[in-house]
Amino acid sequence: MPTQKKYFLLFILTIFSYNFSYAQANFPEDGPLFRDDMVPRIDIHINPDTLDWLYDHVYSNTEFRAQFVFSTDDLQDTINEIGFRLRGNTSREAQKKSFRISFNTYESGREYYGLEKMNLNGEHNDPSIIRSKTAWDLIRKFGIPAPRVNHVQVYINGNYYGLYINVEHIDEEFIDLRFKNKDGNLYKCLWPADLDYRGSSGEDYKHENGDRRVYDLKTNKVADNYSDLALYIDQLNNLPSETFQCEIENTFNVYDYLRVIAMDVFIGNWDGPIYNKNNFYLYHNTKTKRMEYIPYDLDNTFGIDWMNIDWGNRNIYHWYKQGEPRPIYTKMMDNSELRSIYSQYMNELLQDNITGSVLENRILEIKEMIAPYVENDPYYPLDYGFTIQDFHNSYQSAWGDHVAYGILPYLQIRRNSAIQQLEDFQSQAVINHIRYKVKNDAQDLRIRAYVREECNSVVLWYTENDGSEQQLQMYDDGEHNDIEAGDGVYANTLANIPLNTLIKYQIKAENSNAVISLAPCQAIEYYYRESEKPALVVNEFMASNQSIIADEYGDYGDWIEVFNADAEEVFLGDKYLSDNISDPNKWQMPNMSLASGDFALFWADAETGKGNMHTNFKLKKEGEEIGIFDAEGTNSFPLDTLHYENQVSDISQGRSLDGGEIWQLFAKPTPGYTNIFDAIEEYASPKPFKIFPNPNNTGVLYLNKPTDIQIFSLNGLLLYEEKYTTNINIRFLAKGVYFIRDKSAYSQKLIVF
């Protein structure tokens, strides 16, 4: 097949790395697991001796088999073989323990309503058992991606263990639900995570406190690459003040984080990064190339105090711990523009419909709902001597000791003091999450932006080939590819862009006070021009490989087969594979050439440490994207892209003819070989040899006659050869399918399990 002339877009990013799309976070529905109009029941059934062992070894993270039952007024589910253990840090010493439930410990990939894990927090510090629930609800209402949460009653072996808070676990599933990708680095940041500059290398941020890293990488552990974190911390600390506001957006979703600051200050979350350099997550969003901040562990809020500080009256502009580096706060407060936006967000938060009577009434509703479960909670009194009267009083009065405020008086005092401390500011339309999508063979460019402010107008300012400035009105009416009317997302489409046209654009918004905002600081550039591409395609893939083919380590990972349908050899080393079309440079293929008509098999297992045929991403069984992209010199032109739906384990999907247009499912997958099934069947030979046993699990393979033997992997790699033998020790082979061939090229399939 000859090379074909195609078109591609060249998207040049100057100053800002708006690489393909900025995406506002999603907010998943609560669903049955996080209902808060009632108190669901969770039952754990576990061997009593095992439970005793857990309580005797409180710092162990060993998970033990248990049965899980979840019940509401209209649902009851039972799941066998879940993992169960204690969780927490200092709370493990409490008499009211916290627990971790893992649905995927003994059945890989298993989820329950989209969750692999559940966290059940005892909340033993809080006599009201509502502070963290209130904080999480308020944070999500304020537009910050955060865990879903509700109250649950917990029973173990039929015994009531008390009222708990069920807090959504922050992991790959959490990230995927919010950002529609989960392949970036997720860091759990615990004390003393001050984000102070330690050096330009990622290795500088692998330091430990006790038996854990301060910035603990939770994903992509094999690669263990901290370069994204190092770049973020470098820019956070070292960008010049005059360019800080514009350039920090390159690595950090700063405008959404300003909302986090306002929230932390309001709820008195001193146990986060601003005061106690503790308890938060950072996620490197591969769609946006920016760090996203995710709050964590909010029980020490609304007047809970261990520092002898009045958090209800502390100054909202000097809230950090004085004399210690806290760049994530001080760099924002030192920038007049960002400080003004923070003030604007704080003012928004202080409105009655968010933190006034509406919130207070909701708190009292929940109090009445959970009171009976507190009254019967046998562990509630054990750590601090709380009584049921303390529970009722704690909403209006300080309990004393570490509970310096009743929750409702705290809200009133914090609102009043913040209003008095609030500086004058000029309200503006804050433009964020600018993103685009090409349509109609890249001739049309749809552009979206999120504007969290009522506006008189939002327009696209743009030029063509550096000509005169033009304007295109953007809309939030639900009729211009802007998602839903009134959701703050504005959009419109530049249509029929001529070939060889350079578009430069910015978003301009005018709010109701006629204040104009322009973003980004430097115009984004989009170049539509001509190119040629090799006919390199995704030929077959499997997104749930349970038993079909193992890699060289014996692991069953997802896989992607690439086929060269071009008439010429194609060099792969400057090309890319990705499971995110908005992130084309996700994984660079190895330095190898693929002959015309040949196949390459890549393991999509997110374990690059295994070798150069292993990608840095996994495939989703429930469906996603796969793409092959050309060299960066062509701005990663898409050579082949596809979107697939939910897959079945051990069934592959591929082109019915290699490189063809029609796709089908394969009950007998052909990884690394032609999809024309007859081509891989065993074929006759004048003097065939025989192998036995086959399939083989003995580790020794016998031949019916002395033969010169070679063993190949399915992607053609020679693994073993021996001359004139009648038996072979194959214990070195991982589980999987292989080809065994003699010197006359007669071959058979060998199955090892």
Q: Please write the tens of the pLDDT for every residue from 52-84.
A: 999 999 999 999 999 999 999 999 999 999 999
What residue ranges define each of the domains in the chain, with the CATH number in brackets? Answer: 4-11+428-531 (2.60.40.10), 32-421 (no CATH), 534-679 (2.60.40.1260), 682-752 (2.60.40)
- Write out pLDDT tens, residues 375-384: 999 999 999 9
Query: Are 18 and 507 contacting, i.e. CB atoms less than 8 angstroms apart?
Result: no
Residue 751, pLDDT > 90, answer no
Confidence of residue 441 (pLDDT cuts 50, 70, 90): low
pLDDT for the residue numbered 753 = 66
pLDDT for the residue numbered 585 = 87
Dihedral pair phi/psi, residue 393, rounded to 5°: -70, -25
- Write out pLDDT tens, residues 489-526: 999 999 998 888 899 999 999 999 999 999 999 999 88
Q: Is the pLDDT higher at 553 or at 373?
A: 373
Query: Are 701 and 707 contacting, i.e. CB atoms less than 8 angstroms apart?
Result: no
Distance CA 297, CA 289 (A): 26
- Write out pLDDT tens, residues 658-706: 898 888 888 889 898 888 753 333 333 345 677 878 888 888 888 877 7
Q: How far is CA 22 from CA 41, 281, 436, 555, 604, in A?
A: 39, 20, 8, 35, 25
Tell me what the mean pLDDT of segment 129-143 comes to: 96
Tell me what the mean pLDDT of segment 554-582 comes to: 91
Confidence of residue 532 (pLDDT cuts 50, 70, 90): low
Least confident of 88-97, 240-249, 523-532: 523-532
pLDDT for the residue numbered 427 = 94
Torsion angle of the four alpha carbons 141, 145, 146, 149, in this order, in degrees rounded to the nearest 10: 50
Q: How far is CA 487 from CA 172, 294, 607, in A?
A: 27, 22, 39
Nearest to 613 by CA among 638, 637, 591: 591
- Round the average pLDDT of the chain to a whole number and report it: 89
pLDDT for the residue numbered 636 = 75
pTM for the whole thing? 0.79
Instruction: Read off the amino acid at residue 210.
Output: G
H/E segment holding residue 349: helix 336-349
User: Any long-range contacts for 698-704 (C-beta under 8 Å, 24+ apart)?
Assistant: 699/729, 699/730, 699/731, 700/727, 700/728, 700/729, 700/730, 700/731, 701/727, 701/728, 701/730, 701/740, 701/750, 702/726, 702/727, 703/727, 703/728
Tell me what the mean pLDDT of segment 319-324 comes to: 96
Residue 513 token pair? 């006070």
Residue 18, pLDDT > 90, answer no
Nearest to 174 by CA among 218, 114, 133: 114
Residue 542, pLDDT > 80, answer yes
Query: Are 41 and 153 contacting, i.e. CB atoms less than 8 angstroms apart?
Result: yes
Distance CA 88, CA 71 (A): 25
- Write out pLDDT tens, residues 724-747: 787 888 888 888 777 787 765 566
